[in-house]
Structure 1
Amino acid sequence: MGAPDGDRLGPYRLLSPLGAGGFGEVHLALDPEGRTVAIKILHPHVAADEGALTRLAREVEAMRRVQGPHVAEILDASLTGGRPYLATRYVQGRPLAAVVSGDGPIRGDELVRLARGLAEALSAVHAAGVIHRDLKPGNVILTDGEPVVIDFGIACMLDSASVTTSGAVLGTPGYLAPEILEGGETGPEADVFSFAATLAYAATGRHPYGTGPAAAVGYRVVHHEPDLDGVPPWLESLLRECMVRDPAARPPASMLLARLGAAAPVVRAAAPQSHPAFAAAEIREPVQETAARRVPRGGVHSLTTREWRPGRGRGTGAAAPDEVRARRRAVVHRRWVVGTGLLVALAAAAARSPLPEASLLLLTIYGSVMLVDGGVALFARQNRSRLAVDLAGAGGSIALWAVLGALFSPLTLGLALGTVVFVLVVLLLSS
């Protein structure tokens, strides 16, 4: 089933394998516009189950409507042919399970951010009519302290007998709601139970129903109370309410954020985010942390890629629109000064011997334009660097004019000027 690096799957170019799970293999890939995505190629025994694919196809459209900074969006899907796949947003991060096992429990402001982020993610998933079905520490990716939930809706395939008997694990003991373990139907309330169990693990570093054989853990879920010793008081009462046996008694996902806002301490300003996060579904815990090191030479690091981002601003570190426009204007101005300075210096040097008056006139006009532009920027209280760029452009054109006139003949300079003008005209027409 493995796909070699550089292989193509639909419009995507596969770059490097990231991991594998019960449903398929996950590859880092490029979309047609050069943006990184995660491609999950379903295992042959899953692809051969028409019932599982039908259930997944029914949910894909709903899954694609799930939007939010704390969920990994489904971008594309192809569930026909010999290699069905899902394309999902990808950004490097660490699974919550790996963070807690390696660094210890999450506390303070980081726990508040985690709880609120998971509540937002669950609310977005349920608002689109999707049920996650397998929310657990391994399906929560942390990037810069912010959680992103992956794999929502995909567990609908677990209803298939042929899939489960082929090696897929039906959820994770200790994070599945008791009604599921007792053979009941999966509803949004089951996700609320899993939300609380995941937060309990993050806050304590322990699985809320202990460890051991799956049957033993499942028995504790159905018959015992969760171990919440060490959970902060502001969070404990909400978790207990979310983990009650009666699904109807659990608060809906839409209320979780409000409940957390009323109970949680104030979060201090967080460091700017460089990325929202995504990790591919069902990847084993170390994969995300080491994915960059596993890319072969000449792979991702030799390519210029752009991360896929939804069409909305997110992250506390994003620049304001006015600031972005100002930076773009400054870049365009510098390029204009340099380009026109080179062109004027070349033209003036070519005309220096046969038409000295025209040569000096060109330099005078260019210098005057630069001085006026710099003066306007200075009096308008704009960035003083604009004046410096204008003065440097005027001085540089005069110096270049003197050097070119001394080193090259008028014929050579004329040919060079004609070539530059021709290239500029071709570029303008082609653009």
Structure 2
Amino acid sequence: MSEHLGPYEILSRLGAGGFGEVHLALDPEGRTVAVKVLHPHVAADGVALARLAREVETMRMVGGAHVAEVLDASLEGSRPYLVTRYVQGRPLSAVPMPVTDLRRLASGLADALQAMHEAGVVHRDLKPANVMMTEGEPVVIDFGIASALDSLSVTASGAVVGTPGYLAPEVLEGRSAGVEADVFSFGATLAYAATGRQPYGQGPASAVAYRVVHHPPDLEGVPEWLEPLLRECLSTDPAARPTAAQISARLGVAPVSHVPRVPAAPVVRPRSAADDLSTKEWQPGREQHRRSVEESRARHREKVRRRWLIGSGLFVALLAAAAREPLTEVSLFLLAAYALAGVADAGVALFSHGIYRRSRMVVDFASVAGVVGLCFGLAAMFSTFTLALFAGTALVVGVVFLLSA
């Protein structure tokens, strides 16, 4: 009997990495997908999982021919997992070196880099092992996972967040790192593909890391058309590195609008014998792109704003109800302040041009009315001491949540 993980039928194990095991699986429609099941020490880290859950929505916005799109995720339960497009091929680290069609590789990696950065995703662990070669084209896998799971507890548990020799100097030195770190990794990966040698040599991780920070890369044998670009990408100063868009322009990669994918919800249906004989693959660019990147970001911002509005409203209602008898003026002040903030936010929405303008105004006025009604309802049902206890508990829980986030 085959194993199932959620709606996915596990077929075989493909490999393992620092964060989990990867399995070939079938989705409910019989398409091949790759399911990464997180290691137990990662699954046990609540902080890391919460961070990854927040990043998954952004990761799902990345699409294109040169990235393995994130299709689904389930980060609850005993076996949290991520589902990505299955890429059939070999990692760049396992193909003969140096790569013959270097320009094709460079162009594909530049396109993948631009797709990730346009969606606001930092790969953080771009290296030859995370570049799959399929029919001569590179496809970047595992993007965003290392960046999302880079927490002290996960690292201490044994996961390796990044690979020395491909990590940027600012990452190795513990400084803040952004998309510029991916550009460095892009340069190191291409240098390896062009020469067949590690650009910062081999040896203990500490020795390689020291050379990354203090020594220039070994670019002997890199073609003349590529060497100047790689030297800029491998600069120790993040500000001196080109952007993904600039790299694409210098390589002659045609601009592509990397609109976000909106995967359709899987439809569970009985599989027939024909499904067993011939499976279908996820193909990039074949789904209907219904929202642009900006629209998806606006949707995410609106969702976060509503959560804060409702959460703060509940807290204000508790405080105002607790203060209604002993401190009537304080109770009225809290309600008036919340109402003023709600009306002001509705006023801002009135003059904005966002796609959620009307719903934002409705939610603002509904929240103000709801807080006032909830305040009087709680005051009538509970004593002042009970309400004060509720408010104190809510304050402690809110502070803990903010610190953990």
In which range does the TM-score fall when normalised by the shorter chain? 0.5 to 0.7
Share of identical aligned residues, percent?
73
Q: 2:286 aligns with which of 312, 317, 320?
A: 312
> Which residue does the alignment assign to 2:60?
64
Q: Is it true that 1:203 corresponds to 2:194 in the alignment? A: yes
Q: Is it true that 1:170 corresponds to 2:161 in the alignment? A: yes
> Which residue does the alignment assign to 2:97?
104
> Which residue does the alignment assign to 1:194?
185
Q: Does structure 1 conserve the Cα–Cα contact (< 8 Å) formed by 2:10 and 2:26?
A: yes
Q: How does 1:20-419 map to 2 (within 5 A)?
A: 20-99=16-95, 103-107=96-100, 110-261=101-252, 303-312=277-286
Amino acid at match of 1:67: G
Amino acid at match of 1:260: L
What do residues 239-291 of structure 1 show as CA deviations (whole Å, max 9, x unaligned)?
001111110111111111111129xxxxxxxxxxxxxxxxxxxxxxxxxxxxx
By how many angstroms is 1:303 displaced? 3.7
Aligned mates of 1:127, 1:311 — CA distance in 2: 16
Amino acid at match of 2:36: K
Gaps of 5+ in 2: 254-273, 288-405
By how many angstroms is 1:162 displaced? 1.9
Aligned mates of 1:151, 1:17 — CA distance in 2: 16
Aligned mates of 2:203, 2:159 — CA distance in 1: 19
What do residues 19-52 of structure 1 show as CA deviations (whole Å, max 9, x unaligned)?
1111111111000000000001111110110110
What do residues 334-391 of structure 1 show as CA deviations (whole Å, max 9, x unaligned)?
xxxxxxxxxxxxxxxxxxxxxxxxxxxxxxxxxxxxxxxxxxxxxxxxxxxxxxxxxx
> Which residue does the alignment assign to 1:13?
9
Q: Does structure 1 conserve the Cα–Cα contact (< 8 Å) formed by 2:30 and 2:275?
A: no
Aligned mates of 1:245, 1:158 — CA distance in 2: 25
Q: Does structure 2 conserve the Cα–Cα contact (< 8 Å) formed by 1:55 and 1:156?
A: no
**For residues 121 and 311 of structure 1, do their structure 2 counterparts lie closer, same or farther at Cα, with a shift above 3 Å needed?**
closer
Cα RMSD of the aligned pairs, angstroms, is 1.8
What do residues 97-128 of structure 1 show as CA deviations (whole Å, max 9, x unaligned)?
100xxx22013xx1000000000000000000
Aligned mates of 2:250, 2:283 — CA distance in 1: 30
Q: Does structure 2 conserve the Cα–Cα contact (< 8 Å) formed by 1:157 and 1:163?
A: no
Q: Does structure 2 conserve the Cα–Cα contact (< 8 Å) formed by 1:133 and 1:155?
A: yes
By how many angstroms is 1:310 displaced? 3.2
Gaps of 5+ in 1: 263-299, 314-431
Amino acid at match of 2:76: T
Q: Does structure 1 conserve the Cα–Cα contact (< 8 Å) formed by 2:55 and 2:148?
A: no
Q: Which has the larger radius of gyration?
A: 1
By how many angstroms is 1:302 displaced? 5.7
> Is the partner of 1:159 in helix, strand or coil?
coil
Q: Find runs of 4+ consecutive structure 1 residues off by over 3 angstroms.
A: 300-303
> Is the partner of 1:19 in helix, strand or coil?
strand
By how many angstroms is 1:158 displaced? 4.0
Aligned mates of 1:301, 1:167 — CA distance in 2: 39
What do residues 187-228 of structure 1 show as CA deviations (whole Å, max 9, x unaligned)?
000000000000000000000000000000000000000000
By how many angstroms is 1:301 displaced? 11
Aligned mates of 2:140, 2:284 — CA distance in 1: 15
> Is the partner of 1:76 in helix, strand or coil?
strand
Aligned mates of 1:37, 1:170 — CA distance in 2: 24
By how many angstroms is 1:156 displaced? 2.2
TM-score (norm 1): 0.60
Amino acid at match of 1:80: E
> Is the partner of 1:67 in helix, strand or coil?
coil
What do residues 130-158 of structure 1 show as CA deviations (whole Å, max 9, x unaligned)?
00000000000111110000000000244
Aligned mates of 1:161, 1:306 — CA distance in 2: 40
> Is the partner of 1:132 in helix, strand or coil?
coil
Amino acid at match of 1:178: P
**For residues 49 and 205 of structure 1, do their structure 2 counterparts lie closer, same or farther at Cα, with a shift above 3 Å needed?**
same
By how many angstroms is 1:183 displaced? 0.7
Amino acid at match of 1:123: Q
By how many angstroms is 1:159 displaced? 2.0
**For residues 42 and 155 of structure 1, do their structure 2 counterparts lie closer, same or farther at Cα, with a shift above 3 Å needed?**
same
